[in-house]
Amino acid sequence: MFGFLNVYKPVGKTSHDIVGYLRRVTKIKQIGHAGTLDPFAEGVLPVAIGKATRLIEYLNSDKAYIGRFCFGKSTDTYDIEGNVVETFDKKITKEQFNNLPLPHGEIEQLPPIYSAKRVNGKKMYELARAGVKADEIDIKPSKVTIYETKLLEFNEEEQWADIYVKCSKGTYIRSIANDLGKALNNGCYLSKLKRVLAGNIDIENSINLDDLKTPEDVEKVLLNPINYLPLPKQELNDIEYKRITHGMNIYNRISEKDGIVILVKDNQLIAISEVTQDGLKPKKVMI
């Protein structure tokens, strides 16, 4: 069994839970996922089955989310699961919110202390749970890119906004919430989060775990990696196929001067290759 799955991760499940479930159903140990989601979040979770786990690094890592941003409180995790650290009586008006520029372009972002980012070899959430305060950790900002932000709905009475965010890998939507609260001289935390896009894997085609009860169920909905890897492709002839499967270089027949090229034959992914002066060199042979 070989390919990607577009799995819908429900609220309350972890990415680890889903991988474990699929291992039990398929009896395949070689299963991995791209892009962890917090337990309170839901949405698209790309999963790789079998040798497709070797391809995860080549998937488009951009993401898109719809988050519910709640005003009037700040939490230590920047989301609904944290402890409230500050409350604000003043309400945000829709006019105030509309006058606030939403983040866009390349920004520097401080990750929340309750995150898996490592400081001195330890995950920050481990330090936080051990009682270490945020101001006691040398948290470095990360550069991330916000491609698009769009207000979907603002509820002035209940003090929340639903916002669409398309962003690069490593962006913390929770941190955007906390930063919005500060910009409004108020508090803000994330109460809901739905990932609607992971690379070019869309939530509209995602599969519920309840529909995957047998290995046959999984095999029927496997995605061909050829269609989801954002890389140039070269179709192999019979001679090139034999050379690649024996670890030999082949002639570069496409215009790429450097980088990675996927090699295909009869709509099957045969290998990942790298462009060299001596042609296309097999990097990962998949058969």
Taken as a whole, the chain contains a residue count of 287
Residue 244 tokens read as 């690649």
Residue 47 tokens read as 């999963």
Buried b (16+ CB within 10 A) or exposed e, 98-108: eeeebbeeebe
CA distance 225 to 59: 9
Give the dihedral of Cα atoms 172, 174, 175, 177; nearest 10 deg. Answer: 130
In the block, tokens 């140990």 appear at 29
Cβ atoms within 10 Å of 115's Cβ, excluding its own: 19
Radius of gyration of the chain (CA): 22
Give the dihedral of Cα atoms 230, 234, 238, 240; nearest 10 deg. Answer: -100
Q: Of 38, 89, 202, 217, which one is the catalytic site residue?
A: 38
Cβ atoms within 10 Å of 243's Cβ, excluding its own: 18
Question: Parallel, antiparallel, or unpaired for β 73-75 and 63-71?
Answer: unpaired
User: Is 38 marked active-site?
Assistant: yes
Name the residues annotated as catalytic: 38
